[in-house]
Amino acid sequence: MLDVLQRPVDRLDPLDRQIIGCLTRDARATYAVIGDEVGLSAPAVKRRVDRLVADGVIRGFTALVDPEVLGWTTEAYVEVFWEGTPSPLELRRSLGEVPEVVGAWSVTGSADALVHILAADIPHLEEAIERLRQQPNVHQTRSEVVLSRLIDRARP
């Protein structure tokens, strides 16, 4: 009863967590291998994975690609300052207009949003930030260009 109020986390048992652990380490692991590791048969693992995907616990599977190889060597975090008090929806729509924006979060502190930008090089980055500044209501930006990637841990 009252399933809508039950947070999804409550539906994850230790087996689910172990399976998620296996898949975050190697998304191409076979159900049989995962089953060996968690002590389940392959069909049982498949049913759980299907359920986790259907429930939105697992949003998808992706390959981790070395960004340098793709030629996107330039990265920056940009604090965005807004005129007035924008709704998350407005922010999402406005920031989403710039394709180089790969991540964005509304944050506490003086800035309204923190935006993660990937670009091919410095001129490309500069141009992307310029387009960001031209979005309606964007008042000011403060950029920190990434010099080197120190840590990039997969999910816990």
Partner DNA sequence: AGTGAAAGACTGTGGTG
Partner DNA sequence: CACCACAGTCTTTCACT
The entry of a second copy, DNA, none near residue 44 (CB within 5 to 8 angstroms by kind) is DNA
Beta-carbon count within 10 A of 83 CB: 11
Smallest separation (angstroms) from a second copy to the CB of 39: 20
Closest by Cα among 27, 85, 86 to 52: 27
Contact yes or no for 108/114 (Cβ under 8 A)? no
Contact yes or no for 146/17 (Cβ under 8 A)? no
Site string for a second copy, 84-103 (x = CB under 8 A): ----x--xx--xx--xxxxx
- DSSP letters spanning 16-39: HHHHHHHHHH-TT--HHHHHHHHT
The entry of a second copy, DNA, none near residue 122 (CB within 5 to 8 angstroms by kind) is none
Smallest separation (angstroms) from a second copy to the CB of 43: 17
Among 40-48, 59-67, 114-122, 137-145, which window interacts with DNA (CB under 7 A)? 40-48
Contact yes or no for 48/41 (Cβ under 8 A)? no
The pair of three-digit structure tokens given for residue 83, joined into one six-digit string: 């005129």
The number of residues that bind DNA (CB under 7 A) is: 14
- Of positions 42, 44, 106, 124, contacts a second copy by CB under 8 A: 106
Query: Which of positions 84-143 make contact with DNA (CB under 7 A)?
Result: none
Under rule CB under 8 A, residue 64 binds a second copy: yes
Dist. CA 156–CA 29, nearest whole Å: 18
Give the footprint of a second copy on this chain (CB under 8 A).
Answer: 7-9, 12, 17, 20, 23-28, 56-72, 75, 77, 79, 88, 91-92, 95-96, 99-109, 111, 113-114, 118, 142-156
